[in-house]
Amino acid sequence: MKLATIDNGTRDGELVVVSDDLCRAVSAKAIAPNLLTVMEDWDSHEMALRDLAYQLHEGDAEDAFSFDQSHTLSPLPRSFQWIDGSCFKNHLRLMALATGRDPGIEMNSPFPLMYQGMSDDFYRPQGEIALPREEDQIDFEGEIGVVLSEVPMGTKAEDAEQYIKLVLLINDVSCRAFVKREITVGFGWMNAKPSTAFSPVAVTPDTLGDHWREGKLHLPLNVTWNGELFGRPNGSEMSFSFPELIEHAAHTRKLAAGTLFGSGTVSNKAYREVGSACIAERRSIENIEEGGAKTEFMKFGDRVRMEMFDGDGQSIFGAIDQTIARYKPV
């Protein structure tokens, strides 16, 4: 089942069910007004949504319409909690080596790195990323994410997958100029992490077939920058699974329904062949292998696109397709 949110003039948008080929959609407002309502009582809404998805597949859904990704909001335009990990140890290793830090500290940690970001306002999947200055070193970060139903405190990894209801893609936008300062003070991200963007469509794990296993998504994430392929690393090398992330975060708290988890930047050991999913990692590789970073960060007018395809070449989540723009105060 594939779900999306279209703009209806409200903060939380209107929930729609989307066809497998992303060509058609039908409103689900008779079932629930928005996705956050569904997440808060998934068991009560799931079968009605699946029935609607079947009707759409069979061509029997009344008032079905052409699905336009450019009219979507993020599947959850806002939520109670957004938690991002850094769960690809190859990425951590490269970033540490490039900055002269001991990679063993992060590589050997039994716990995933994790922070809680802003969740009150997410970027649209397609459109502008409005930021104040190019000098803040604007970067994209391609990630995989999940959306949870309510998770009880103390949930263990072996019991956690039942709470993963949806899977999606993420562009975790970063302003790298603030990273060193905010890491040094040790009190979490603020200026380095503006709003985040999610794919136009979120899908139930069963939609992914064998590509979803062991709490990970085993497919490459295609990232293009200004029309050129930047990288296509595979999610299979995630060092901590999403159930393990859930266990870590739920140790001392319950996780509210609608909580979003990110994998961190997708990264592979074979980076020379598959490339990277963020500029900072490419710059780290250049520092290590060429004695200095050459790739610049994003400029106003630059465009980034992220997409994942199934074995038949069909887009699974639609495309995150965004342009960097100068923020203009209202």
- What was the pLDDT predicted at 261? 97
β-strand partners of 212 = 217
- What was the pLDDT predicted at 242? 98
Scanning the structure block, which residue is given the tokens 């995933």?
Answer: 112
Q: What confidence tens digit (pLDDT) does each residue in 49-68 have?
A: 999 999 999 999 999 999 99
**239 with 113: CB under 8 angstroms?**
no
- What was the pLDDT predicted at 237? 97
- What was the pLDDT predicted at 257? 98
In the chain, where the domains are located: 2-67, 76-326
Q: E-strand spans in 74-173?
A: 82-86, 113-117, 126-131, 138-139, 142-148, 164-171
DSSP state of 124: P
- What was the pLDDT predicted at 105? 76
Q: What confidence tens digit (pLDDT) does each residue in 123-171 have?
A: 999 999 999 999 999 999 999 999 999 999 999 999 999 999 999 999 9
- What was the pLDDT predicted at 96? 85
**144 with 167: CB under 8 angstroms?**
yes
- What was the pLDDT predicted at 11? 96
- As a whole number of angstroms, the distance between CA 214 and CA 267 comes to 18
Strands 197-198 and 201-203: unpaired
- What was the pLDDT predicted at 189? 85
Can you give the pTM of this predicted structure?
0.96
- What was the pLDDT predicted at 68? 97
- What was the pLDDT predicted at 274? 98
- CATH number (3.40.50.720, 1.10.3720.10, 3.90.850.10, 1.20.120.1200) of 76-326 reads 3.90.850.10
Contacts of 128 (CB under 8 A, 6+ apart): 322, 323, 324, 325
- What was the pLDDT predicted at 106? 76
- As a whole number of angstroms, the distance between CA 272 and CA 93 comes to 15
305 three-state secondary structure: strand
- What was the pLDDT predicted at 88? 94
Spell out the per-residue pLDDT of the chain, length 330, in tens: 999 999 999 999 999 999 999 999 999 999 999 999 999 999 999 999 999 999 999 999 999 999 999 999 999 999 999 999 999 999 989 988 877 778 777 778 888 989 999 999 999 999 999 999 999 999 999 999 999 999 999 999 999 999 999 999 999 999 999 987 887 777 778 899 999 999 999 999 999 999 999 999 999 999 999 999 999 999 999 999 999 999 999 999 999 999 999 999 999 999 999 999 999 999 999 999 999 999 999 999 999 999 999 999 999 999 999 999 999 987
